[in-house]
Amino acid sequence: MAPAAPKSGDVIFASVDRVNAELFTLTYGAIVRQLITDLEEVEEVNKQLDQMGYNIGVRLVDEFLAKSSVSRCVDFRETADVIAKVGFKMFLGVTASVTNWDADGTTCSLILEDNPLVDFVELPDTCQGLHYCNILSGVVRGALEMVSMKTEVTWLRDMLRGDDVFELQVKLLKQVPEEYPYKDDE
Amino acid sequence: MIVCVAVVGHQNNPLYIQSFTKADDSLKLHHIVHCSLDVVDERVNNPKKSGLIINETFLGLLNPTENYKVYGYLTNTKVKFILVTTDLEVRDADARVFFGRFHTAYVNAVSNPFHIPGKKITSRKFAERVSTIVKSFGLSSSS
């Protein structure tokens, strides 16, 4: 029997290994800064961050499933809830809220009021097009793809650009049916 | 009233200087800050004569002029903070508290990944925080 899905990630968060928040923030800052120096184009940096996040996400989802022992989600609403309440808490230490559902239940927004990645950060005028936290959208996209959901994740609001919260829009494009790589009779 | 604060790098290059007077005397204030840097150097190079305790970041009163009092603070990375005030009765403890908060603001500003160490501090957030600190001290000393 599968254990019931935890309501929040607090319990798991208390048991996982943690790293100093400032070290984490400064490391991420250094990565972004280096990407800007190397790639020069802000658009390229956004793409690269998203790709890095994707690569993290496809690996991270396994750890998430193993440690959180959540059961299978029945629909996309529950998936979004688990990401916001358990996933974000487990890996980022903050909880997101889920709002702005559309009628079909395929698009929603994850609202982050607090984001440890952006402590100290202030975007200079030359980098106004930069999605500083684009790595997060990549992580969500990568993780969902590994559990057979094709999604599109975009930033709608960004505190670094003067908005009051971070808003991450997650749009379910299609659910890929699980395919077995072999046939039964082989 | 605090009229001017400045952050000066370890090669005596100005990183941030902001005056808080309405009158157009910023040049004079810059001059005062500039002069006080020599006093800082002197104190640091002759710690015995000036009675400075090693590892103490607060340098105390640097040079009282007719209208101004100048206080200094030296971080362990040799960045100097200079405070110019018109208050004639300033308690050392208050100045220490001011520099403590100023130091925190400075640390947060240089932790911005887009800040290049040794270059001028252009952060708007830092400027806001500094003026908040300055304002809070202006109120407490005048009341």
| DSSP H stretches of helix in chain B | 26-45, 92-110, 124-142
Can you give the residue range of the structural domain that contains B55? 2-135
Could you tell me the pTM of the whole model?
0.80
What domains can be seen in chain A, in order of their start residue? 41-175 (3.30.1380.20)
The most confident of A8-22, A48-62, A67-81, B86-100, by mean pLDDT: A48-62
Chosen from B111, B114, B123 to mutate, greatest number of chain A CBs within 10 A: B114
- The DSSP string of A122-133 is ---GGGTT--TT
The alpha-carbon radius of gyration of chain B (Å, integer) is: 14
To the nearest whole angstrom, how far is the Cα of A34 from the nearest Cα of chain B? Answer: 10
Q: Are A122 and B108 a contacting pair at CB < 8 A?
A: no
Residue B76 near chain A (CB below 8 Å): no
Res A6: pLDDT: 55
ipTM: 0.74
The nearest alpha carbon in chain A to B109 belongs to A120
Residue B111 near chain A (CB below 8 Å): yes
3-state helix, strand, coil split of chain A in percent (to 5) is: 50, 15, 35
Res A7: pLDDT: 61
Residue B117 near chain A (CB below 8 Å): no
Q: Are A121 and B113 a contacting pair at CB < 8 A?
A: yes
Instruction: Give residue A17's pLDDT band: very low, low, confident or very high (50, 70, 90).
Output: confident
The CATH code of the domain that includes B40 is: 3.30.450.70
Res A183: pLDDT: 67
pLDDT per residue rounded down to tens, chain B (143 residues): 888 899 999 888 989 998 888 777 888 888 888 888 888 888 888 766 666 666 678 888 887 777 888 989 998 888 999 998 888 777 888 888 999 999 999 999 999 989 888 888 988 889 999 999 988 886 554 43
Give which of A8, A31, A19 is closest to A133, Cα–Cα: A31
Looking at the predicted structure, is the pLDDT value of residue A125 above 90? no
To the nearest whole angstrom, how far is the Cα of A51 from the nearest Cα of chain B? Answer: 21
- The DSSP string of A53-67 is HHHHHHHHHHHHHHH
Interface of chain A toward chain B, CB-CB under 8 angstroms: 22, 25-26, 29-30, 32-33, 119-124, 127
Res A162: pLDDT: 84
Element (H, E) at A45: helix A42-68
Looking at the predicted structure, is the pLDDT value of residue A9 above 80? no
Give the pLDDT mean for A113-134: 88
Query: Would B143 be classed as within a structural domain?
Result: no
Strand partners, B84: B4, B70
Q: Do the Cβ atoms of A170 and A80 come closer than 8 Å?
A: yes
Res B43: pLDDT: 82
Q: What residues of A are in contact with residue B129 (Cβ under 8 Å)?
A: none
Res B142: pLDDT: 44
Q: Do the Cβ atoms of A123 and A134 come closer than 8 Å?
A: no
Res A2: pLDDT: 45
